[in-house]
Amino acid sequence: MATNNKKCLVKDSILEVKNITKEVNSPEGVLTIIKGINLSIASGDVASIVGPSGSGKTTLLAIMAGLDLPTNGSVQLLGSEITSLDEDKRSQIRGKDVGFVFQSFHLLPRLSALDNVMLPLEISGSENIEEKANDSLARVGLEKRVQHFPNQLSCGEKQRVAIARAMVNSPKILFADEPTGNLDKSSSSAISDLLFSVNKTMDTTLIIVTHDLVLAEQCNTVYELSEGELIC
């Protein structure tokens, strides 16, 4: 586990967070969810972010991925200072070079596994989209389930579809928010192995938010959050 805020910065980073703070309004007043965090992730690294519920893990991931903006501070992702960009430009970066995997899978229920994986290819205007989607599903071991709908798949299979969809555009960085949170022990282990395989075979930088300490400790770097602060 990293040991202080300065040591959370590395050279040749694909992602760098500088002194970010996130504040939100509540009936009790202004709440500070993220407090002055600095960290960077090297290209090709596998990093996990751990901490108790309410510590700010998911908020931090959303800011790093450009899904949300900090109140203060900056985020440099893939060479772009994304906190100064509007949503359209951040969306372009996410669509081209960033993949996402979520705890609740986020599959469209009326689309088959194949159609769910084809969706980002259609949005990006790619060619040979069915072939690419089939290849991506084959890489996660679902070549025989391509025409199944989400309600015909187990939770582990749904997460495999989500990973296939996240990787179909060959992103440079993959953000995974509690990817094993809805899975049993056996499925969790299989999904963990799959994510690490993606990192090795596709050289994709992997950032995982998780409560699963077994999963976290398999990562190259572990960052711990407590009450919005980085305990490095």
Mean of the per-residue pLDDT values for the chain?
91
Q: Is residue 1 part of a domain?
A: no
Please choose, from the candidates 147, 160, 145, 149, the residue with its C-alpha nearest in 3D space to the C-alpha of residue 109.
149
How far is CA 190 from its chain centroid? 17
- Confidence band, pLDDT 50/70/90 cuts, at residue 231: confident
What pLDDT does 148 receive? 98
Q: Please say whether the beta carbons of 21 and 72 come within 8 A.
A: yes
Q: How far apart, in Å, are the Cα atoms of 67 and each of 64, 75, 91, 172?
A: 8, 12, 8, 17
Output the domain CATH number for residue 179.
3.40.50.300
Q: Is residue 136 part of a domain?
A: yes
Please count the structural domains in the chain. 1
What is the residue range of 177's domain?
6-231
Task: For residues 204-232, give the mean pLDDT.
Answer: 91
pLDDT at 11 over 80: no
pLDDT at 10 over 80: no
Which residues, in sequence order, are bridge partners of residue 24? 31
What pLDDT does 9 receive? 60
How does pLDDT run across 39-53, given as a tens digit for each residue?
A: 999 999 999 999 988
| The pair of three-digit structure tokens given for residue 13, joined into one six-digit string | 């980073």
What pLDDT does 2 receive? 47
Q: Please say whether the beta carbons of 21 and 36 come within 8 A.
A: yes
The total of other beta-carbon atoms located within 10 Å of residue 152's CB is 12
What pLDDT does 8 receive? 63
pLDDT at 17 over 60: yes
* Residues 193, 117: Cα–Cα separation, whole Å: 20
What pLDDT does 212 receive? 86
What pLDDT does 5 receive? 43
How does pLDDT run across 98-138, given as a tens digit for each residue?
A: 999 998 899 999 999 999 999 999 988 889 999 999 999 99
* pTM as predicted: 0.89
Which residues, in sequence order, are bridge partners of residue 49? 209, 223
Give the strand pairing for 205-209 and 173-177. parallel
